[in-house]
Chains A and B, each alone.
Chain A
Amino acid sequence: MEEGKVISQSLQESAAAYSIIHEKFGSAISDLDANETMPFFEVVDTSLWTEIALFMRDHPKLKFNYMACLTGVDYPAEEKLGIICNFESLALLNHKLSVKVKCARDGGSIPSVACVWHTANWHEREAYDMFGMTFTGHPDPRRILCPEDWEGYPLRKDYKVQDKYHGIKVPY
């Protein structure tokens, strides 16, 4: 944050929420990236992700009961895939926070939070479908938008579309 710039109230709330999580998990999570558009922190120790998620949902001062969005992202420069989750305490505390979780690009896996928020169920399937990271502990780890026997993960930056799918020409 630049000096002298007014920090918006929502950012303050997010920072307060972050400090509670940081207190509990310490170095397992990174510092808060306190930007105005989408304040987020990154989960460093991915194995703790489900635990952090549960803590975020159930802690009386956090109450992130609403997962707005879960986005898969490809970071070819870092050789990583990641997900970005946008949380909100809907109708309770009304604060927002976003979380990034990253895993290795080839054969990486992220613990599933589908058991914490139902929203994550289909979104994780979508992230798997598009990027190819696996979600350990997901109740139904199938592709969702592409056909089951589609080759490759379309939203990766280095994706090459397959020539033929069941004899149908694919590239348009």
Chain B
Amino acid sequence: MGNSLNAWSDALAGFYLFGLPLGLVILAAIPLVFIALYSLTYGVYGERKISAFMQDRLGPMEVGKWGILQTIADILKLLQKEDIVPASADKFLFVVGPGILFVGSFLAFAVLPFSPAFIGASLNVGLFFAIGIVAIEVVGILAAGWGSNNKWSLYGAVRSVAQIVSYEIPAAIALLCGAMMAGTLDMQKITMLQSGAYGFAHFFLFQSPIAWLPFLIYFIASLAEVNRAPFDIPEAESELVAGYFTEYTGMKFAVIFLAEYGSMFMVSAIISIVFLGGWNSPLPNIGSVALNDWTNGPVWGAFWIITKGFFFIFVQMWLRWTLPRLRVDQLMYLCWKVLTPFAFISFVLTAIWEVYRP
């Protein structure tokens, strides 16, 4: 299996046309296209529909059957909008902010194994890379917030930086529990270690009696890292108007949105890779009915990881449309006094479990 791993992506990377690394470009374009498509379809439209249904509303209905083309109409509208840079804004930071944000959320896709045969870059420190690269978003947010020269934006940016930097600690420690169970930081290997004939029973979440704790901690922390409710204080629309992107219009605004939905999928994919077996099928082999064998493979793998990712995005949306927003100090309380200690506890317990495992 080791050989077949990354087979497609390796082949693509080696594809040159007229001496140009066209394969690499395609490799990079696949996640990009994926983010764009998913944000268009599931991200924006899905969120609007899900929120509408939870609130007894119909949601978008006018453009296309059941409003399915609504997002395309929105994108067209955004494209036509005047691209305003406020007169007193720091033009360089203002323009570069959304770019950094997008690159930050996009880079992590490089190390996400989308199927047994496809991974952008099979790094041996993939998990570490994924955790670290999220921090780049902070720079983008700060640039956007500061560059706007708007007090609300500045508040949003400062809040966001404080929040993301703090929540990286419990998030990283929780992920380390998974890494410890796998014994590697390579995302592809972590996923492989969770495959087996019994499907979901091989997932790390069910491999150890305390894995639910880091799983939960990472999920909560990831909500904060991608600024989703109830931790959406950087863009709290009732307090800070729109937070760090108050001044953005047109395509820049769209790019920030894309980045947000991109990182939503990213953290969902990471949690499903580390704890829920990534591209492994959750279905077990039952006797001669080899469900697990039938539903595994490169294409099935892509299906499973995207499904798992979408499920977690659904939970994120579900939470968002249920809960009020925390206050800044409560957010920090939750991070430093609840999640971090419990993350350490689960870290130690996982270590003990790994050493004395029966």
Please say whether the chains A and B touch (CB closer than 8 A).
no
**B residues within 8 Å of A by Cβ?**
none
**A residues within 8 Å of B by Cβ?**
none
